[in-house]
C-alpha cells in the first residue's frame, strides 16, 4: 500500500509556521528573558495534567526553577503561582488555579 501524504492548505501552513516562529519568541521582564518554548516546557512540568494546559497546577520544584515556573504560570494562565517551602530544603510546592479557574478562563 502506498504512503499517504497530507497536503496543507495555505491557512494550515501559515498557522503552523506562525506557531513554530512563536517558539523562538523571547518573553522579557525587568529581571528575566525566556523563550516561549522554555516557558511552555516549564508550564508543562508543573501542571497536574500536562495534557490539560488549562488545568490546575500542583508540583514540587527546586529553587532553580522557581523564576521560570512563576513567569510561565503568569504568562500562560493569567494566575499567580502560590509557593510554600516543601519538606525537602531547596524545594518549593507550587500551586495555582490554572487558566480555566482563573480570571482569563472560559467560564
Question: pLDDT tens digits for 67-92?
Answer: 999 999 999 999 999 999 999 999 99
Q: What is the mean pLDDT of residues 18-23?
A: 73
In this structure, is residue 4 part of a structural domain? no
Confidence band of 106 (pLDDT split at 50, 70, 90): confident
Structural domains counted in the chain: 1
Confidence band of 48 (pLDDT split at 50, 70, 90): very high
In this structure, is residue 47 part of a structural domain? yes
- The CB-based long-range contact list for 43-46 (8 Å cut-off, 24+ gap) reads 43/69, 43/72, 43/73, 43/76, 43/77, 45/69, 46/72, 46/73, 46/81, 46/94
Average pLDDT for the chain = 88
In this structure, is residue 3 part of a structural domain? no
In this structure, is residue 45 part of a structural domain? yes
Task: Identify which of 3, 106, 2 has the alpha carbon closest to the alpha carbon of residue 52.
Answer: 106
Q: How far is CA 16 from the centre of its chain?
A: 19
Strand bridging mode 57-62 / 82-85 = unpaired
Instruction: Please give the residue range of the domain that contains residue 85.
Output: 10-101
Give CA–CA dist 75/57, Å, rounded.
14
In this structure, is residue 106 part of a structural domain? no
In this structure, is residue 29 part of a structural domain? yes
Amino acid at each position: 500500500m502506498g504512503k499517504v501524504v497530507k497536503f496543507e492548505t495555505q491557512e494550515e501552513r501559515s498557522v503552523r509556521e506562525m506557531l513554530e516562529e512563536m517558539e523562538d519568541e523571547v518573553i522579557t521582564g525587568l529581571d528575566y528573558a525566556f523563550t516561549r518554548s522554555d516557558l511552555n516546557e516549564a508550564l508543562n512540568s508543573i501542571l497536574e495534567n500536562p495534557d490539560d494546559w488549562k488545568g490546575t497546577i500542583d508540583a514540587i520544584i527546586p529553587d532553580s526553577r522557581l523564576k521560570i515556573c512563576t513567569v510561565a504560570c503568569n504568562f500562560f494562565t493569567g494566575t499567580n503561582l502560590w509557593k510554600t517551602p516543601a519538606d525537602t530544603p531547596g524545594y518549593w510546592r507550587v500551586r495555582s488555579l490554572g487558566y480555566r479557574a482563573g480570571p482569563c478562563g472560559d467560564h
